[in-house]
Amino acid sequence: MSKKIRSVLILGSGGLKIGQAGEFDYSGSQAIKALKEEGIRVILINPNIATVQTDLPARGAQAGKNLADAVYFLPLTEQFATKVIKKEKPNAILLGFGGQTALNLGLLLAEQGVLSKYKVRVLGTPISTIRDTEDRDLFIKRLAEIDVQTARSKAVRTIQDGIEAAQVIGFPVMVRAGFALGGQGSGIAGDQKELEQKLTEAFSSSPQVLIEEYLLGWKEVEYEVVRDRLDNCITVCNMENVDPMGIHTGESMVVAPSQTLSNEEYHRLRTIAIKTIRHLGVVGECNIQYALHPQTGDYRVIEVNARLSRSSALASKATGYPLAFIAAKLALGFTLPELKNSITGSTIADFEPALDYLVLKVPRWDLNKFENATSRIGTEMKSVGEVMAIGRNFEEVLQKSLRMLSIGAPGFTAQKDAGGKLLEEIKEPTTRRIFALAEALKAGISVKKLHALSKIDPWFLEKMKNISDFERSLSRKDLDKYTMLKAKQLGFSDAQIAKLKKTTEAQIRARRLRFAIRPVVKQIDTLAGEFPAKTNYLYLTYHGTENDIERGSKGIAVLGSGPYCIGSSVEFDWCNVQALKRLRAEKKETIMINCNPETVSTDYDESDRLYFEELSLERVLDIIEFERPQGVVVSTGGQIPNNLALPLYEHGVPILGTSPKNIDRAEDRHEFSKLLDRLGVSQPAWVEATTPIKAANAAEAMGFPVLVRPSYVLSGSAMNVAFDKDSLIKYLQRAVDISSDHPVVISKFVENSREIEIDGVASHGKLAIYAISEHVENAGTHSGDATLVLPPQRTYLETIRRAKEITKAIVKELNITGPLNIQFLAKDNNLMVIECNVRASRSFPFVSKVTGYNFIDIATRALLGKNISAEYRTVELDYVAVKSPQFSYGRIKGADPVSYVEMTATGEVACFGDSYSEALLKSMLAAGFRLPKKNILLSLGGEENKIKLLPAMQKLADMKYRFFGTEHTAAFLEKHGIACMLLHKISEQKEPSVLSVIENRTVDLIINVPAKPLARETADGFVIRRRAVDLNIPLITNRQLAEAFAMALAEQKGNGLKAKEWGEYLS
């Protein structure tokens, strides 16, 4: 290792978005560990406040072993990175640990001469190699030098060149945007018209687009490759996509190791991978993707990602090999033979893991949160999370993984809402193709036919058929010991068997245990048992007769948060990791249960025993019966563990903290409502209805608008706001399965009210610490989509006092011990409670990092019965922090990018400032917003919006911004003396039209506030918003946010936004 490196700057990946998610918290955190081990000062820029990597040592503590020394919650832009580099003067920089965002920023810093000016060395893979892998033409050229085949393709910079290239290669062609994360702007173009459309989109986010040979149906195989500076090169893992070419690897089910490749194929591709990576000169970790012809064995290299990726996180969890950690060490100059395999503790890192199990990754989509979004999947990534199942046959991992998704699927089973378009869904895949396959097999459609339609290798289809065949036979069979074992070996859950045998899950479990059929605990040891392993990275399987480890007796189990999805993301993993840290600090043996490969909580060294397993009642009970823990933590992993609290408690499992009966009282709408009534706390009126007519009558009685919350959704988004009786009935008939089993809840929607939230920790019914945040947006924007401010800027002290009082009363009534979150509506000095979660909430990392008190650390101590009372200063802060939502609308074709009652944000960022305005602007920039240079398009629906925004627009006008406005907005501004160029409606087909200033990029900010956003208006408003997203033009659609933004911009004009590290604010 070079002795000169004393400080290293790491670039993070920012807010979680589709294509770039929690996996980079894992890679960044491991990089920090690797660097700290060498005594290097670590500086991190990442505005993602909900990550583990952005933790600092606790107040007053010495430097943390595995934590950064300076954390900058700042936008990942050239401007801010330069400020940080100038200030911190790091010796070196790591670009490979923050996804495409960090890589692109690093390339920019190098191009602009920032790195050379401040003498910052790029560690690991050199910039020139990164360019060779990112620029498609260079890439193809470099691989041709060593006779490695790439897909026939041409890089183009204009639409005309694109069309010509396609004509040479022949339609259909694959369109791929260079420099894009998760295949954004990619797709298949069947003809010239489709190609033109694709190219227009692709060029909006990338200067270069690739037209490629179309390889539909070829097998898709990946290798994770590691290389050191001495040219030692290994492949840590290979993976095979169950869904072949044509579906983005992030959208595919992926199995590791490959299942259908022969030795010759496996090693031919492996050899090419090593040859290619050596030629390119990667130092550290990278990923290489292939297409492999299923008949001829011909191959094409599709791409190389010269950085840690989603696949490398998966490979790391699949094999136990700490890829990111090793990659960081190699970047520092270590060599592979010098590094230990930390799983065995005795063997070296220069080896290739041998698996004696297989893993299956399945993506999790949330497209039903978006109205109008198409559920077709293809070459662009749309999934928001993933799960990984480990087992010893394919049937087992397939059924496990489908349950892990937490979408209500009991396994590989035909679903209730399968439509008649079965074969079409298999051929033109949608997010529910796997269930369509289950249904098709159930209907007796042959593997041959399904292969022809889906191109999925028959090997996988045969395994699926095994499940289907067994399912069919089970209802006829006597459930004897042999049949029971067979069912469990094919991955059937007790609940699945119960349904087929028309009995209860509990009865099947009892019967199974009478047969002494239990899963065995196996270790993941990277060497298939060849050497004794030290770590306890574990999974359960029914293909075994022997446990690898001794039963436990005194651990504490923490239930994880499951797959990332909209509404439950990295923030809960942060909470889990904090809980584990505190438990270990208290000398407790920790047991972690989780199934999400993108997490830090599933790193082998975060807990004493890691079960990479289902978070189902059955599996958690299996583990608990084996481990006999002293206690189970259910309050740090979000809703999945929260829902398990009561059933586990009923099985006699010791739950730490608030009694599950009281958790249930807060969850049960009727109970909680009664409780609030008794405490004299107001709440919006609500009614439960079992028919559309009853619902409509109830709504009329309380007065429209109302919020509709169905318990079972057929399609489209779950929650809705109805403004009148007709739309309510129409919605209930179209999208909701309403019955006495599935009632809908109708509640009064309080217009023009504001929202505030309290996050707190209590012990024995006494509130010990709390933080209060306010939303910038009015009620109607889901709290996960809202901009949060801490400390509150506009909330009256009296309101704060009242909120605290209500919180204390609820805490006392539910005798809460541990974390809690209460959401309030505030209108005209009236405070109403809308929700209470007796668990950690999404905003726990935010309030912890802003106040400087780790709420989960305190909560965990409370769970252990420690005294947590102390003086906590959380209200009067000398700075302001703002948390902004991170959206991924660009990925969700057809979705209306307007905030709504249903959450659509995929992530969040937060920034600090000396003032509210500074924090707000930084936070918006961190979420991908860009400040306007000159021209702003205004389209304000309704009179109220126009009047209320007038002062803000005046401020913008004073700053010499030029306005373009739609008909009424322009007229309104002119009337009030503000110049505004009139734009014609799209339908008028007259220039200048609202569409042309967007398409020509005349405007660099669009403020489009719908008159009634919740009424889901369409027409021009939708087109404006959608084109803004498609063409990557900053867009504001909320009145309160528009106002706050304009005021902040005016206040900050001329002040440079500061690059201060987190510690500077706290001290």
Partner 1 sequence: MKLFLKDGTVIEGTSFGAKTPSGGQFGEVVFNTGMVGYVESLTDPSYAGQILVCTYPLVGNYGVPSPECFESSKIHIAGLIVSEYCEKYSHAKAVQSLGSWLKKSGIPAISGVDTRALTKKLREHGVMLGALSENDKPRKFLDPNEKNLVARVSVNRKRTYGKGPIRIIAVDCGMKENIVRSLTRKETTVIRVPWDYDFTKEKYHAVVLSNGPGDPTMCAPTIEHIKKAMNAKKTILGVCLGNQLLALAAGAKTYKLKYGHRSHNQPALDVTDPGKCYITSQNHGFAVDGKTLPKDWEEWFTNANDGSNEGIRHKTKPWRSVQFHPEASPGPTDTAWIFDEFIDELNRKKYE
- Contact set with partner 1 (CB under 8 A): 230-232, 234, 257-264, 266-267, 270-271, 274, 294-297, 335-337, 346-348, 350-358, 392-394, 457-459, 462, 520, 522, 527-532, 543-546, 548
Respond yes or no on whether the N-terminal peptide bond of residue 692 is cis (omega within 30° of 0). Answer: no
The end-to-end CA distance of the chain, in Å, is 34
Q: Is the dihedral of CA 625, 481, 464, 462 positive or negative?
A: positive
Pick the closer one to partner 1 by CB: 315 or 645. Answer: 315
Nearest to 47 by CA among 960, 959, 884: 884
Phi-psi region of 960 (alpha: psi -120 to 50; beta: other; left: phi over 0): left
Pick the closer one to partner 1 by CB: 295 or 867. Answer: 295
Smallest distance, Å, CB 491 to partner 1? 13
Question: How many Cβ atoms sit within 10 Å of the Cβ of residue 676?
Answer: 19
Which stretches within 206-322 are classed as H helix? 263-280, 310-319
Nearest to 230 by CA among 192, 273, 278, 198: 278
Pick the closer one to partner 1 by CB: 66 or 523. Answer: 523
Pick the closer one to partner 1 by CB: 294 or 716. Answer: 294
Smallest distance, Å, CB 298 to partner 1? 11
Pick the closer one to partner 1 by CB: 261 or 327. Answer: 261
| C-alpha to C-alpha distance for 928 and 913, rounded to whole angstroms | 18
Pick the closer one to partner 1 by CB: 171 or 459. Answer: 459
Smallest distance, Å, CB 335 to partner 1? 5
Smallest distance, Å, CB 410 to partner 1? 23
Return the amino acid letter for 963: F
Show the tokens assigned to 560: 């994880």
In the chain, count of helices (H) and strands (E)?
36, 38
Return the amino acid letter for 986: I
Pick the closer one to partner 1 by CB: 544 or 1063. Answer: 544
Smallest distance, Å, CB 238 to partner 1? 9
Pick the closer one to partner 1 by CB: 356 or 625. Answer: 356
Pick the closer one to partner 1 by CB: 480 or 530. Answer: 530
Smallest distance, Å, CB 626 to partner 1? 16
Pick the closer one to partner 1 by CB: 235 or 1040. Answer: 235
**DSSP code of residue 101:** H
Smallest distance, Å, CB 414 to partner 1? 22
Pick the closer one to partner 1 by CB: 531 or 704. Answer: 531
Hey, what long-range contacts does 918-921 have (CB within 8 A, 24 or more apart)? 918/880, 918/1048, 918/1052, 918/1055, 918/1057, 918/1058, 919/789, 919/879, 919/880, 919/881, 919/882, 920/776, 920/787, 920/789, 920/882, 920/1044, 920/1045, 920/1048, 921/1045, 921/1048, 921/1049, 921/1052, 921/1057
| C-alpha to C-alpha distance for 92 and 94, rounded to whole angstroms | 7
| C-alpha to C-alpha distance for 350 and 232, rounded to whole angstroms | 8
Pick the closer one to partner 1 by CB: 545 or 989. Answer: 545
Show the tokens assigned to 19: 């294509």
Nearest to 75 by CA among 812, 727, 922: 922
| C-alpha to C-alpha distance for 277 and 246, rounded to whole angstroms | 25
Smallest distance, Å, CB 219 to partner 1? 11
Smallest distance, Å, CB 528 to partner 1? 4
Smallest distance, Å, CB 532 to partner 1? 8
| C-alpha to C-alpha distance for 973 and 946, rounded to whole angstroms | 9
Smallest distance, Å, CB 333 to partner 1? 12
| C-alpha to C-alpha distance for 41 and 26, rounded to whole angstroms | 19
User: At 805, is the secondary structure helix, strand, or coil?
Assistant: helix
Pick the closer one to partner 1 by CB: 342 or 368. Answer: 342
Pick the closer one to partner 1 by CB: 230 or 443. Answer: 230
Smallest distance, Å, CB 471 to partner 1? 18
Smallest distance, Å, CB 397 to partner 1? 11
Smallest distance, Å, CB 538 to partner 1? 12
Pick the closer one to partner 1 by CB: 448 or 670. Answer: 448
Smallest distance, Å, CB 232 to partner 1? 5
Question: How many Cβ atoms sit within 10 Å of the Cβ of residue 551?
Answer: 10
Which stretches within 689-764 are classed as H helix? 692-702, 725-735
* CB-CB contact of 793 with 915 (8 Å): no
Give 384's Cβ-side CA count (13 Å radius): 28
Give 415's Cβ-side CA count (13 Å radius): 21
Three state DSSP letters for 286-315? EEEEEEECCCCCCEEEEEEECCCCHHHHHH
